[in-house]
Amino acid sequence: MAEITNELMYELLKRMQGDISLMRSDMRDVKQEINAMRGTMVSMQQDIHNIYGILFQHGERLDRIERRLDLRKLAEAGVSFNYHG
């Protein structure tokens, strides 16, 4: 078995320190990428929320149009219309 000397321990510690430094750098890069993905997800969530709002407005508008069309059909048919909605 090789003799463990202070020089050997020093070289191992230097190598470990370099590896840890590299891991810290890589971890920093990963954190930046995760933060970028988080920002993208937040903006996608806002876009989806806006789309739902627009769809809701279109749904209300379509309901008003349908009610008007029903009124016109009933008026043309000479039937009275009682709306309870």
Amino acid at 67: R
How wide is the angle at C-alpha 37 spanned by C-alphas 32 and 38, nearest 5°?
95
| Residues in the chain, overall count | 85
- Would you say the C-alpha torsion 34, 37, 39, 45 has a positive or negative sign? negative
pLDDT in single tens digits along all 85 residues of the chain: 678 899 999 999 999 999 999 999 999 999 999 999 999 999 999 999 999 999 999 999 999 999 898 877 777 777 665 666 5
pLDDT at 76: 76
Helix (H, G, I), strand (E, B) or coil at 85: coil
Contact 74, 83 (CB under 8 A): no
pLDDT at 3: 85
